[in-house]
Structure 1
Amino acid sequence: MPGMRLDKLLTHMNCGSRREVAAWVRAGRVAVDGLICRDPAYKVDPDRACVLLDGQIQAYRAQRYLMLNKPAGVITASSDPRHRTVLDLIPESERRGLFAVGRLDKDTEGLLLLTTDGAFSHALMAPGKHVEKEYLAEIEGTPAADAAERFAQGIVLKDGTVCRPAGLEPVPEAAVQTVRVTLCEGKYHQVKRMLWAVGCEVTRLKRLRVGPLRLDGALAPGAFRDLSAEELSSFGLPVMGQTGIEISKK
């Protein structure tokens, strides 16, 4: 990768604003390959240089890919004057350029991807891609006897919306009445509306999977982590990993 200004690199690492990191460099708080560097314009190779700020190694990320366990009560938006958003769950120093891949309703929980990579988001969310999404839905009421068959055929909702074929199966081991829904699109309130069409009401909804990626069971509600190289590769998409190297499924 061509050389990048040191202050620009530190900004891309989400260390601070361009003005802040330039001041830190001049103050001698930054070292490159073991030597203090006081020149913000000093050119470094992001993939090879070892950059430390206050003695802590800083890792370059060309793009970011995060898994968030979204809690209920938080909206999927970058900002909102009245409601807490998913980006409010991310420390301010790490939010730069992040946006949600698709959306979950305010009261829906579970797997939500955040990224800075627009091409990655489009590849997962574009209607023609048909990426599977899996949900657990706690319900009230008894689904119609032919509910699974109607889901498999593609339900037509009351307003005429045509849904693509989807999966519906009970989860008998759950403590309350629960069904598993698997679909490959994301229309407005789709899971709730489809279940309503077969005679039941969703009281809690949680997304467990997007494509090959499952929600990390170790993530508490509101917690997040970076996707691993293996998880990124599992999508079979060309994406930019943490070192700026293209990753694709072999």
Structure 2
Amino acid sequence: MRLDKYLCDGLGITRKQATKLLKSGDVTLDGAKVKSGAVKVSSQSEVMWEDRAIVLRGPRYLMMNKPTGFVCSHEDGFNHTVFVLLDEVRYDDLHFAGRLDVDTTGLLLITDDGKWSHRITSPKHKCDKTYRVWLADPVQEEYANAFQQGILLRNEKEPTLPAELEIISDNEVLLTIHEGKYHQVKRMFAALGNRVEALHRERIGQIVLDETLEPGEYRDLSPQEIESIFSK
């Protein structure tokens, strides 16, 4: 591969921008400064720019502990987007495998593999999602049965799929749903006359939020976590 093409793919820049970087003298190939984009890069070559290794990556699979106040979007006129928390090249290629609201925290999966994310978001695959929910009013005894039977949401023709409710305390529950309707968890509790005060996603499928990640931190998924999406 030509060096200029390698820079384009590794940094997500145009051929013109790659040529400009090379002319600056800040790009090295195997320790030597190179200004020609025509130089060939082998699979064993080490390409550096401003002392940063440029590595061509395959599909990316990231887990983030999303903090409150950030939106799952590339652009937003009012709030910061999750992408400002990422130290990734070519972040325009990334998308979310299941968005979270601006005020919802927890497990957020980010990828550039559309087939993989489709397994999570497509209704036909019924991918489980578990949320920790804090409610304004105490949990009522009939909630568990209501979630198991399915709840008809406003402006919906069919009730939700059966969901599992685990009571943690008077105002805290764990809820596992098997679909991903718009604002579904909040709407389900609203239909029961309650209000969600805080919402935190802990699990998607078999992928559980890494407890070592502070809000705003992220890491690559392990091969086992990536493959788990196809195991169902």
TM > 0.5? yes
Counterpart-to-counterpart distance in 1, 2:136 and 2:77:
34
**1:32 to partner: Cα distance:** 3.3
CA distance in 1, matches of 2:218, 2:15: 26
1:42 aligns with 2:39: yes
CA distance in 1, matches of 2:88, 2:223: 24
| C-alpha displacement of 1:36 | 4.2
Q: CA deviation at 1:224?
A: 2.1
Instruction: Name the aligned partner's letter for residue 13 of structure 1.
Output: G
CA contact (8 A) 1:5 1:41 kept: yes
| Distance of 2:10 and 2:168 partners within structure 1 | 43
Report the counterpart of residue 169 of structure 1 in structure 2. 166
Q: 1:136 aligns to what SS in structure 2?
A: strand
- CA displacement at 1:59 relative to structure 2: 2.3
Following TM superposition, by how much is the alpha carbon of 1:181 offset from its aligned partner in structure 2, in angstroms?
A: 0.6
Partner SS state of residue 57, structure 2: coil
Q: 2:191 aligns with which of 190, 197, 211?
A: 197
- 1:9 paired with 2:6, answer yes
Query: Is the contact between residue 64 and residue 226 of structure 1 (CA under 8 Å) also seen in structure 2?
Result: yes
CA separation of 1:204 and 1:182: change in aligned 2, threshold 3 A: same
CA distance in 2, matches of 1:158, 1:30: 58
Match of 1:147 among 140, 143, 151: 143
Give the TM-score, by structure 2 length: 0.86
Distance in 1 between the 2:154 and 2:91 partners? 40
Aligned to 1:222: 216
- How far 1:166 sits from its partner (Å)? 0.9
Paired position in structure 2 for 1:114: 110
Instruction: Give the counterpart of 1:184 among 165, 178, 188.
Output: 178
- Other-structure match for 1:245: none
Letter in 2 for 1:88: V
Report the residue type matching 1:216 in the other structure. D
| 3-state DSSP of counterpart to 1:186 | coil
3-state DSSP of counterpart to 1:44: coil
Q: Is the 8 A contact 1:79 1:87 kept in 2?
A: no
Change (3 A) 1:42 1:184: farther
Q: Is 1:143–1:195's contact at 8 Å kept on the other side of the alignment?
A: no
Residues 72-111 of structure 1: pairs in structure 2 closer than 5 A:
72-91=68-87, 93=89, 95-111=91-107
Q: Which range moved further: 179-188 or 36-45?
A: 36-45
Shift of 1:147: 1.5
May I ask how many residue pairs the two structures share in their alignment? 231
64-73 vs 222-231, which deviates more?
A: 222-231
CA gap 1:41/1:63 in 2 versus in 1, 3 angstroms: farther
Identity of aligned residues (%): 39
Q: Distance in 2 between matches of 1:48 and 1:162?
A: 56
| Residue identity in the other structure for 1:11 | C
SS of the residue corresponding to residue 92 of structure 2 reads: coil
Correspondence for 1:30 among 16, 27, 32:
27
- For structure 2, the 5+ residue unaligned runs are none
Cα offset for 1:200? Answer: 2.3
CA distance in 2: counterparts of 1:96 and 1:9, whole angstroms? 18
Q: Distance in 2 between matches of 1:207 and 1:145?
A: 23
State the TM-score, normalized to the length of structure 1: 0.80
Output the amino acid matched with 1:21.
A
